[in-house]
């Protein structure tokens, strides 16, 4: 099964972290970029489509601008990213050209994907590039991404991209060999976990918060990305990006790294987008009856089951649904604003007209616009 998931993957998203392609002192690691380009060209020659999500702009920018330390303020990070990104993409162009491949730069912000129209537009552009045989090289558009609208880290971006392009496999190149029973840098008896069927809270805890100097995420963000794409039926392979041959080895299947299996029940794309791309603008606290109706009976959310409304949102905005234990168990697009919901929460559907003077929708969230988490 493991090898089949790898060898049958036709469309592969490869996430390349900063430390693999750039160093603060020496700038771009051209030797690594040459090797990775060669391996990715081999994947393409093996009839695979490849999308790259590459970090490294900030680190490359630090060297280019001669900054002494890693920038702390957002404007300085953004300036370094802008200076470094052109450097980075130029290196990708050159290395891939030597291997007979063309690349295209695509810079995305979270907002681009949170708007369904722009999401679909980005999807068409990326699939067109792939049809033309071009390798998209994606990064976050750091220059215009302020804290609230950032993807946060490129592991999260890679997860979003895997969904965006409907990938068959997400490969995350790490600076360690995969997920270990403990942090291998701190404990030499730590053992590699070759396969993960289900990302349980224990696995998430195991991933901890280990991080290296120049990476934003560490293992925890990789596991979160794997968890999200698993819900979309996509497996994730975490391998050591410094080890030659592992990436191109996917063509024949590989025993290296950690493979996270996909969930058998795949969320449809639009529901996955509601659940994992959109960020909630508010929260609805529901009573047990409503939780049960949504979770187990495939029902829409009616005003009667709502106990509390938090946040400030408009019709069409995403909101999260929480049960009495405080667990966020669903996300959906609301038909009513927070202002209106405060008036009709707890009311019977038949009373909406009396309270509001009109009755546009029976449901607060229609089940077609609701994704269970």
Q: Kindly list the residues in this chain that would bind ligand GLU in the complex (CB under 6 A).
A: 17-18, 55-58, 81, 139-140, 142, 153-154, 215-217
CB of 64 to ligand GLU, least distance (A): 12
CB of 253 to ligand GLU, least distance (A): 28
Residue in this structure with the two tokens 């009396």, named with its chain if needed: 354
CB of 139 to ligand GLU, least distance (A): 5
Q: Which long-range contacts (CB under 8 A, 24 or more apart) does 207-210 make?
A: 207/179, 208/183, 210/183, 210/185
Residue in this structure with the two tokens 């130029």, named with its chain if needed: 90
Q: Are 35 and 187 in contact (CB under 8 A)?
A: no
CB of 137 to ligand GLU, least distance (A): 11
CA dist., res. 234 & res. 199, Å (int): 13
3-state secondary structure of 40: helix
Residue 17 or 318 having the CB closest to ligand GLU: 17
Residue 154 or 338 having the CB closest to ligand GLU: 154
Residue 215 or 228 having the CB closest to ligand GLU: 215
CA dist., res. 358 & res. 360, Å (int): 6
Q: Could you give the maximum distance between any two Cα atoms of the chain, in Å?
A: 71
Residue 78 or 340 having the CB closest to ligand GLU: 78
CB of 216 to ligand GLU, least distance (A): 3
CB of 194 to ligand GLU, least distance (A): 26
CA dist., res. 90 & res. 96, Å (int): 10
What sign for the dihedral angle of Cα 43, 192, 54, 62?
negative
Contacts of 340 (CB under 8 A, 6+ apart): 356
Please count the other Cβ atoms lying within 10 Å of the Cβ belonging to residue 175.
Answer: 17
The angle at the Cα of 278, spanning 71 to 212, to the nearest 5 degrees, equals 30
Residue 224 or 369 having the CB closest to ligand GLU: 224
Residue 63 or 140 having the CB closest to ligand GLU: 140
Residue 332's beta-bridge partner residues?
319, 370
Residue 157 or 250 having the CB closest to ligand GLU: 157
CA dist., res. 289 & res. 362, Å (int): 17
CB of 223 to ligand GLU, least distance (A): 14
Q: Phi and psi (nearest 5°) for 371?
A: -120, 125
**Residue among 130, 59, 126, 51 nearest 88 (CA):** 59
CB of 166 to ligand GLU, least distance (A): 23
Residue 80 or 320 having the CB closest to ligand GLU: 80
Q: Are 317 and 333 in contact (CB under 8 A)?
A: yes
Residue 127 or 212 having the CB closest to ligand GLU: 212
CB of 6 to ligand GLU, least distance (A): 24
End-to-end CA, the chain: 26
Residue 79 or 334 having the CB closest to ligand GLU: 79
What sign for the dihedral angle of Cα 69, 75, 81, 87?
negative
CB of 60 to ligand GLU, least distance (A): 8
Can you read off the two tokens belonging to residue 201?
């809270």
């Amino acid at each position: 099964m493991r090898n089949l998931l790898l060898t049958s993957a036709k469309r592969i998203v490869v996430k390349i972290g900063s430390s693999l392609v750039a160093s603060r002192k020496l700038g771009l690691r051209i030797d690594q970029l040459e090797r990775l380009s060669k391996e990715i060209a081999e994947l393409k020659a093996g009839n695979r489509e490849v999308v790259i999500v590459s970090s490294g702009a900030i680190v490359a920018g630090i060297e280019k601008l001669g900054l002494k330390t890693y920038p702390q303020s957002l404007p300085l990070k953004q300036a370094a990213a802008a200076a470094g990104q052109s450097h980075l993409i130029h290196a990708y162009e050159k290395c891939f050209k030597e291997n007979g491949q063309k690349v295209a730069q695509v810079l995305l912000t979270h907002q681009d994907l949170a708007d369904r129209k722009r999401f679909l537009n980005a999807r068409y552009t990326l699939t067109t590039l792939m049809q033309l045989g071009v390798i998209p090289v994606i990064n976050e558009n750091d220059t215009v991404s302020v804290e609230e609208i950032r993807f946060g880290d490129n592991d999260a971006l890679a997860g979003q991209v895997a969904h965006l392009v409907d990938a068959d496999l997400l490969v995350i190149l790490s600076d360690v060999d995969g997920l270990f029973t403990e942090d291998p840098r701190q404990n030499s008896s730590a053992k590699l976990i070759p396969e993960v069927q289900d990302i349980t809270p224990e696995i998430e805890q195991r991933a901890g918060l280990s991080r290296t100097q120049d990476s934003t995420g560490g293992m925890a963000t990789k596991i979160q990305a794997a968890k999200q794409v698993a819900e979309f039926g996509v497996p994730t392979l975490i391998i050591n990006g410094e080890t030659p041959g592992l990436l191109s080895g996917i063509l024949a299947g590989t025993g290296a790294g950690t493979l996270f299996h996909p969930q058998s029940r795949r969320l449809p794309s639009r529901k996955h987008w509601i659940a994992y791309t959109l960020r909630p603008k508010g929260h609805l606290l529901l009573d047990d009856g409503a939780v049960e109706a949504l979770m187990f009976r495939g029902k829409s959310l009616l005003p009667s089951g709502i106990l509390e409304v938090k946040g400030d949102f408009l019709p069409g905005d995403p909101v999260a649904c929480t049960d009495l234990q405080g667990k966020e168990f669903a996300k959906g697009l609301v038909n009513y604003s927070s202002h209106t919901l405060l008036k009709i929460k707890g009311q019977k559907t038949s009373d909406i007209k009396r309270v509001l003077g009109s009755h546009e929708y029976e449901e607060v969230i229609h089940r077609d616009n609701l994704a269970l988490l």
